[in-house]
């Protein structure tokens, strides 16, 4: 308890959909998160979150405007508020700057998405793994990818490895959004990051190497119909996702690892057209003497993901199908969560994609603040003990289940 008294101060950076949910969930767990600050680029968005939380739970949330690309500005805010941990829910572009500020001030770091340089649509862990020695020397933790995927999907794998299997051989992560938001086209999290992610060439791990296949909107993309619990059959596309990179290193015995995500024909058609006309470009274009980055301009036109909740109905179903050995037999298990858009909106004012990311972000911060996870260095989620995290998922709004399943071909 003393530890919580000393360390229950959290600084959330960002004020979008995911940060909104995380702030709500932190506010609900007042015995762990005793003082909360929401700091982001647009102060008015932080103030709106603080006002809503004040009305719902009667808690006083501190706010601040900060440019998280300015390390000196961050350091000065951290020194003023003195948090025990910083929960980075801004964009992947800010990861390294926020890690630098945490290193300088000796504060733990948690995020939900790995670093991506603004000028290149490419993400990988190498940039953040490069902080390993410096975080170790400073005696602080960086917990990478504490959202749902990455995040809960890594924890599901670690839990299966610890309790359900002697060896995991085949891993399929399936992410289904069977919800409907009522807009012709919108992305469920930051449009720029989302479009960069889904437009790339696909990779999956097979027999010790990465295999490349066409992007989801290109000829030859790989997809199949999977019958999701609570959602029914949905076309699911092979996609590269960041948790595959750490899981193939950390889960011994893995022969194949794939990630699948559902997309509607409507979404794919819009994306194809936007790409064909150049609206998904990430380089600067000269327009009437102004420099414009098309995908950033597109973001300005699309609905804010945090605002989609008002009309969102339906469910998300995200989980892992795992095949491996147990007591000499080959078995397959499906671990998954079902989350409802309308329920998420009722509780936090945002939709289920933000909810399924913001809840594990809060739980990751809770693991660090309560000392359930301790250590020095940079950690991916599957390197940390899954048990307390799995209990917390059940307790704080993302219940999961494990069922027997047929192996995927």
Residues in touch with ligand NDP (CB under 6 A):
14-19, 40-42, 45, 66-69, 89-92, 94, 112-113, 145, 147-151, 189-190, 193, 305-306, 353, 357
Q: Give the nearest distance from C-beta 94 to ligand NDP in angstroms.
A: 5
Per DSSP bridges, beta strands 202-206 and 256-262 are antiparallel
Contact (Cβ atoms closer than 8 angstroms) between residue 144 and residue 394:
no
From residue 276, alpha-carbon distances to 33, 170, 219, 240 in Å are 47, 36, 14, 21
Closest to ligand NDP by CB, 34 vs 382, is 382
3-state secondary structure of 176: strand
* Angle separating helix axes 71-81 and 95-105, nearest 10 degrees: 50
Question: Per the structure block, which two tokens stand in for 341?
Answer: 């858009």
For residue 406, is the peptide bond before it cis, meaning its omega torsion is within 30 degrees of 0?
no
Closest to ligand NDP by CB, 242 vs 340, is 242
What are the beta bridge partners of residue 330?
A: 325
Q: How many CB atoms lie within 10 A of CB 148?
A: 30
* DSSP 8-class letter at 302: S
Q: Give the nearest distance from C-beta 19 to ligand NDP in angstroms.
A: 6
Say how far apart CA 191 and CA 305 lie, in whole Å: 8
Contact (Cβ atoms closer than 8 angstroms) between residue 256 and residue 409:
no
Q: How many CB atoms lie within 10 A of CB 249?
A: 14
- Report the residue closest to ligand NDP, judged by CB: 16
Contact (Cβ atoms closer than 8 angstroms) between residue 372 and residue 388:
yes
Question: Per the structure block, which two tokens stand in for 261?
Answer: 């995500």
Q: Give the nearest distance from C-beta 407 to ligand NDP in angstroms.
A: 25
Q: Give the nearest distance from C-beta 325 to ligand NDP in angstroms.
A: 29
Closest to ligand NDP by CB, 149 vs 172, is 149
Q: Give the nearest distance from C-beta 3 to ligand NDP in angstroms.
A: 27
Q: Give the nearest distance from C-beta 398 to ligand NDP in angstroms.
A: 11
Closest to ligand NDP by CB, 17 vs 324, is 17
Q: Give the nearest distance from C-beta 31 to ligand NDP in angstroms.
A: 26
Contact (Cβ atoms closer than 8 angstroms) between residue 352 and residue 339:
yes
Among the listed residues 144, 131, 377, the one whose alpha carbon sits nearest the alpha carbon of residue 242: 144
* DSSP 8-class letter at 161: I
Q: Please name the residues in contact with 241: beta carbons below 8 A apart, sequence gap of 6 or more.
A: 149, 150, 173, 175, 197, 259, 261
Closest to ligand NDP by CB, 94 vs 380, is 94
Q: Give the nearest distance from C-beta 194 to ligand NDP in angstroms.
A: 8
Q: Give the nearest distance from C-beta 91 to ligand NDP in angstroms.
A: 5
Closest to ligand NDP by CB, 118 vs 229, is 118
């Amino acid at each position: 308890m003393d530890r919580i008294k000393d360390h229950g101060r959290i600084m959330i950076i960002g004020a979008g959909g995911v940060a909104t949910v995380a702030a709500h969930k932190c506010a609900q767990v007042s015995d762990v998160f005793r003082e909360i600050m929401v700091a982001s680029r647009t102060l008015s968005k932080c103030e709106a979150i603080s006002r809503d939380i004040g009305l719902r739970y009667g808690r006083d949330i501190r706010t601040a405007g900060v440019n998280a690309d300015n390390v000196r500005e961050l350091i000065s805010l951290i020194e003023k508020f003195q948090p025990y941990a910083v929960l980075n829910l801004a964009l992947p572009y800010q990861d390294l700057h926020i890690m630098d500020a945490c290193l300088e001030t000796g504060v733990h770091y948690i995020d939900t998405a790995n670093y991506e340089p603004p000028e290149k649509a490419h993400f990988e862990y190498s940039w953040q793994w490069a902080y390993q020695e410096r975080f170790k020397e400073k005696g602080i933790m960086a917990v990478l990818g504490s959202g749902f995927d990455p995040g809960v999907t890594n924890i599901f794998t670690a839990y299966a490895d610890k309790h359900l299997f002697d060896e995991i051989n085949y891993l399929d992560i399936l992410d289904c959004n069977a919800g409907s938001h009522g807009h012709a086209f919108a992305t469920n999290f930051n449009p720029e990051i989302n479009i960069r992610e889904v437009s790339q060439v696909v990779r999956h791990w097979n027999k010790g190497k990465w295999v490349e296949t066409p992007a989801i909107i290109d000829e030859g993309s790989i997809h199949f119909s999977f019958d999701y619990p609570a959602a029914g059959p949905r076309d699911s596309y092979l996609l590269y996702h960041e948790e595959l990179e750490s899981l193939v290193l950390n889960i011994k015995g893995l022969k194949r690892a794939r990630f699948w995500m559902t997309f509607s024909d409507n979404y794919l058609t819009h994306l194809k057209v936007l790409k064909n006309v150049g609206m998904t470009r990430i380089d600067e274009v000269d327009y009437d003497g102004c420099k414009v980055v098309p995908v950033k301009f597109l973001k300005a036109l699309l609905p804010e993901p945090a605002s989609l909740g008002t009309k969102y109905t339906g469910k998300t179903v995200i989980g892992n199908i795992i095949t491996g050995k147990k007591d000499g037999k080959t078995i397959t298990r499906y671990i998954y969560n079902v989350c409802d858009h309308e329920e998420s909106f009722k509780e936090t004012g945002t939709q289920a994609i933000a909810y399924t990311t913001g809840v594990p972000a809060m739980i990751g911060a809770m693991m660090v603040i309560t000392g359930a996870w301790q250590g020095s260095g940079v950690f991916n989620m599957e390197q940390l003990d899954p048990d307390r995290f799995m209990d917390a998922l059940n307790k704080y709004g993302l219940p999961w289940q494990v069922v027997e399943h047929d192996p995927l071909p």
